[in-house]
Amino acid sequence: MGMDSLIGGTIWDEYSQKVTDLMNNPQNMGEITEEQAKEMGAKLIVADFGTESCGDAVRLYWAVDPKTDMILESKFKSFGCGTAIASSDTMAELCKGKTVDEAVKITNIDVEKAMRDTPDVPAVPPQKMHCSVMAYDVIKKAAAQYKGVDMESFEEEIIVCECARVSLSTLREVIRLNDLTTVEEITDYTKAGAFCKSCIRPGGHEEKDIYLVDLLEEYEKEKMASAADASASGAGLDFAQMTIVQKLKAVDKVIDDNIRQMLIMDGGDMEILDIKENGANFDIYIRYLGACSGCASSSTGTLFAIENILKEKLDENIRVLPI
């Protein structure tokens, strides 16, 4: 017995009227036979998909025009709860009149939205959102069978939240760009974790390879590593407060970012030999390499440019001394 048949009381209010109607009176339930497909001049596709976690399964029938790849007829058989029946019926309806390539673009969100009575009110309770995911997956399987490819070829990215179809790369980018630290924040930004909640942490309705809590932990470790690197390099410190090693790293970074490429283009280079405090000044001793070592401007224009950039980026009291 499916979960829907056990639900009573006010929880029925969480289902749209369209869903309850389709549970009891699906419009596309049935099968397409080889004979019927031939009469339409179509190729028959029969695809099965099921989920072990809830025992639901769906069989999708397509009659596809091989000349245009158009889905002329679409029917289904569903083995499971009422929500699976309603989702599968809606999915079959959405496939009609589309090409196979267009049908693959139908998402579980499209199926769920098509079952809504009003645009802003979900058609099913969050814990039943996975039923429309099953409908989405059987479309991929049917398309793969028609095209003679693996169904995974239609999935270009790793999907973490199946309900909202949010990919791993999207979640990582959103977490980093917005410095997110909680699952609730991720859900607010992406809708991941808003429905069946299986993607939040282990122990949910569906087992996942990676969870939202894993991504938060990953990001926290990255921030800690970044903070450690910044501390080691002296980032955030005044030049005068840095250790000698931090000063050398800071100077080398400014040279790499602003000077070195220009020197290399002219056939030269430079290296930092030492940094010494001389009263209020920081004397940075450098050695020119390659063509720079014999260039007349190395002791005038080039030296002036190097010193000015280091003063601007690090400290006004820096002096650059070539050896």
Q: Which two tokens stand for residue 251?
A: 């100077």
Catalytic site residues?
54, 131
Please report the pLDDT score of residue 52 as a whole number.
54
pLDDT for residue 6: 41
Q: Look at residue 59 and give its three-state secondary structure.
A: strand
Strand, helix or coil at 249?
helix
Q: Which amino acid is at 28?
A: N
Kindly state the average pLDDT of the residues 58-82.
94
Domain co-membership, 45 together with 187: no
Tokens of 124: 């099913």
Q: Report the pLDDT value the prediction gives residue 311, as an integer from 0 to 100.
A: 95
* CB contact at 8 A, 283 and 275: yes
Q: Which of 60-74, 205-219, 222-236 has the lowest mean pLDDT?
A: 222-236
Decide which of 216 and 9 is more confident. 216
Instruction: Report the CATH number that the domain containing residue 308 is assigned in CATH.
Output: 3.30.300.130
Residue at a domain's end among 172, 201, 233: 233
Assess whether 166 and 149 both reside in one domain: no
Residues 207, 264 within the same domain: no
Whether residues 120 and 208 fall in one domain: no
Q: Which of 296, 301, 291, 297 is nearest to 268 (CA)?
A: 291
Q: Please check whether residue 130 is in contact with residue 163, taking contact to mean a CB–CB distance below 8 angstroms.
A: yes
Output phi, psi for 272, to 5 deg. Answer: -95, 125
pLDDT at 158 over 80: yes
Q: Are 90 and 78 in contact (CB under 8 A)?
A: no
Q: Is the pLDDT assigned to residue 4 strictly greater than 80?
A: no
More confident residue, 224 or 64: 64
Q: Are residues 169 and 293 in the same domain?
A: no
pLDDT band at 51 (very low <50, low <70, confident <90, very high): low
Same domain, 37 and 96: yes
pLDDT score at 59: 94
Query: Taking 90 as the threshold, does the pLDDT of residue 321 lie above it?
Result: yes
Instruction: Let me know whether 271 and 214 are in one domain.
Output: no
In the chain, what percentage of residues exceed pLDDT 70?
Answer: 89
Closest CA to 217 of 191, 246, 186: 186
Q: What is the pTM of this model?
A: 0.54
Question: What are 243-294's pLDDT values in tens digits?
Answer: 898 899 899 999 999 999 889 988 899 999 999 999 999 999 999 998 878 7
Count up the domains in the chain and report the number: 3
139 and 167, same domain (yes or no): no
Residues 71, 175 within the same domain: no
Poorest-pLDDT segment among 121-130, 184-193, 300-309: 121-130
Q: Which of 95, 119, 154 is the last residue of a domain?
A: 154
Per the structure, the complete domain to which residue 63 belongs is given by 3-154
The span from the CA of 169 to the CA of 173, in Å, is 6
Indicate whether 40 and 129 sit together in one domain: yes
Residue 104 CB burial class (10 angstroms; 0-12, 13-18, ≥19) = buried
* Better-scored residue on pLDDT, 106 or 38: 38
* pLDDT category of residue 31 using cuts at 50, 70 and 90: very high
Residues 123 and 203 both lie in one domain: no
Backbone angles phi, psi at 161, to 5 degrees: -105, 105
Residue-wise pLDDT for 104-133, tens only, equals 988 777 888 899 999 888 888 876 776 667
Residues 17 and 120 in one domain: yes
Decide which of 131, 154, 177 is a domain's last residue: 154
* Mean pLDDT of the residues in the chain: 86
